[in-house]
A and B are shown apart, each in its own frame.
Chain A
Amino acid sequence: MQQWLDDLIAGTAWLQALPTGLVYTIGILVACKLILLFSSLLAGEVVWLERRVSGRMQARIGPNRVGPQGLLQFLADGVKLLSKEDVIPATADRPVFVLAPILVYLGAFAAFCVIPFGYGLVAADMNVGLFLVLAITSIEVVGVIMAGWASNSKWAVLGAMREVAQMISYELPLGLSALAIALLAGTLNLTDIALQQEGWLWNWYVFRGPFAFAAFFLFFTAALASLKRAPFDLPEAESELVAGFHTEYTGFRFAIFFLAEYSAMILFSMLAAVLFLGGWSPGFPVDLTGPAARWIGFGILFAKTAFLLFVMIWVRWSLPRFRIDKVMYLCYKVLLPLSVVCVLGLSLQVLLGEVLWGDQSAFGRWLMGLGVHGGIR
């Protein structure tokens, strides 16, 4: 991003005449706008995907009227939601009620600025990128509890309480399984993590030993839960809680919650693809860092993200909902210990691999090969 701006300024005469700070500020704002636009459009399309896939799974057709194959359905939905009356309940706490969707939106969208969409296609290539994603998404929790409290409705408060408890709990296995990859990579920079997985398929972090393999599934499960996706959608259980924390929200504010939910899905799918599934690596050695080739890399990463999104939708329409105590049981007594084991095992693997073979993932590959061999036999 900064490289781009510097090159642009160096190459354009009239930009050099402008104050550098102004050019930078406008450049950053435009980049934010572009990312926001892209991820909102994508979120809209994921809503369409969800409806089409669920339709197919239930032997229906799903939306196919607006645009080719119904691709523009989200525009129609958006117009419908925008034209609805914007109701704020009389007993609601107005400033908090208005602020809550903004915080949720911020939590879902701001983290995209450190996600590398391809080599160099990243708004802010930060050293602490992975940590930033985890931190920013935790802001969403506050927005949720604000929405629930400000609505002054029992459904909203109960839903918010459940949701916050669930999101905070599942942040632990989520963070620990991401930490396992940070251990392997030795960095929190997402571009570097993706670069380290270039080359053949077995360079992907998910295939670097049994612990990394397990960490991927732990990460994905915990992500599903902290996204409140079925089978963990207790906070929004329609049959129990009407609609959870956004029961009292209508029109545009409801649309914001809705979009934030789907863009968080995209965020975590993309993060999982970058962390575990090789980022933009197609699974064989090819250089995708050139100025044109990075867009091919973007396409590959996008395909992986789309696949993970499809899996999320697939799971939602296949599995029944958990009971709330089972959700907590799964988090604290299953996922959390397993992810601690993963972190310990991976640090052991890195240590042993470096001591014995001089290559941190050699030991992991050997273990993995043993496992595959045993599996085949």
Chain B
Amino acid sequence: MSPVPLLALPGAPSLAAVGLGPYLVVGAALFSAGLVTVLARRNAVAILIGIELMLNAANLNLVAFDRFGPGLVRGQVFALFVLVIAAAEAAVALAIVLNVFDSRDRVDVDQVRSLKG
């Protein structure tokens, strides 16, 4: 029994057959939702959530382009780089947020105006 890559139905088109467009539309929707989150929220952690959404949208586009593109795994490699950077960014940003909270007792980005800790 050879391992199957993913479910490949006989008689059904490949699971990627919906075409590139729908994936890009989903990516655009995720990006816009992330943008709204970043603009509308005051809490620093919520803004991070919006940033993660936007990064995910970009990643979805990269992987979709990879699937419909020339056939190297470059899109996926870039998606993995984005994952790495998202992890690093979340860790450092949360450490900063915790520090700000320690010194000011709030995490509203509108009320944090001074760089002096």
A and B: partners? yes
Within 86-117 of B, Cβ neighbours of A (below 8 Å) are at none
B3 in complex: contacting residue of A20, A21, A119, A189, CB < 8 Å: A189
Q: Are A192 and B3 in contact (CB under 8 A)?
A: yes
Contacts of A127 in B (CB 8 A): 3, 5
Interface string of A317-358 (1 = CB under 8 A from B): 000000000000000000000000000000000000000000
A125 in complex: contacting residue of B3, B11, B12, CB < 8 Å: B3
CA gap between A127 and B9 in the complex, in Å: 17
Contacts of A362 in B (CB 8 A): none
Contacts of A191 in B (CB 8 A): 1, 3
Q: Are A3 and B3 in contact (CB under 8 A)?
A: no
Q: Are A20 and B5 in contact (CB under 8 A)?
A: no
Q: Are A125 and B1 in contact (CB under 8 A)?
A: yes
Contacts of A110 in B (CB 8 A): none
Q: Are A6 and B1 in contact (CB under 8 A)?
A: no
A20 in complex: contacting residue of B1, B6, B11, CB < 8 Å: B11
Tell me the minimal C-beta distance from A134 to chain B in angstroms: 15
Q: How many A-B residue pairs have CB under 8 A?
A: 27
Within 6-40 of B, Cβ neighbours of A (below 8 Å) are at 6-12
Tell me the minimal C-beta distance from B11 to chain A in angstroms: 5
CA gap between A120 and B6 in the complex, in Å: 16
CA gap between A126 and B7 in the complex, in Å: 10
CA gap between A192 and B3 in the complex, in Å: 9
Q: Which of under 10, 10 to 19, 20 to 34, or 35 or more describes the interface residues of B? A: 10 to 19
Contacts of A189 in B (CB 8 A): 3
Q: Are A6 and B3 in contact (CB under 8 A)?
A: no
Check if B4 is an interface residue, CB within 8 A of chain A.
Answer: yes
Interface string of A1-33 (1 = CB under 8 A from B): 011001000000000000011001000000000
Tell me the minimal C-beta distance from B47 to chain A in angstroms: 20
Contacts of B4 in A (CB 8 A): 2, 125
Q: Are B1 and A21 in contact (CB under 8 A)?
A: no
Contacts of B3 in A (CB 8 A): 125-127, 189, 191-192
Within 151-170 of A, Cβ neighbours of B (below 8 Å) are at none
Tell me the minimal C-beta distance from A292 to chain B in angstroms: 15
A120 in complex: contacting residue of B1, B5, B8, CB < 8 Å: B1
The winner among B3, B5, B6, B12 for most chain A CB atoms within 10 A is B3
CA gap between A127 and B7 in the complex, in Å: 12
Contacts of A21 in B (CB 8 A): 9, 11-12
Contacts of A125 in B (CB 8 A): 1, 3-4
Tell me the minimal C-beta distance from A196 to chain B in angstroms: 14
B6 nearest CB neighbor, chain A only: A126
CA gap between A127 and B5 in the complex, in Å: 7
Within 119-159 of A, Cβ neighbours of B (below 8 Å) are at 119-120, 125-127
The 6 closest A-B pairs by CB, nearest first: A125-B3, A20-B11, A120-B1, A3-B1, A189-B3, A2-B4
Residues of A within 8 A of B (CB): 2-3, 6, 20-21, 24, 119-120, 125-127, 189, 191-192
Residues of B within 8 A of A (CB): 1, 3-12
17 of the cross-chain contacts (CB-CB < 8 Å) are A2-B4, A2-B7, A3-B1, A6-B10, A20-B9, A20-B10, A20-B12, A21-B11, A21-B12, A24-B7, A24-B9, A119-B1, A125-B1, A125-B4, A126-B6, A127-B3, A189-B3
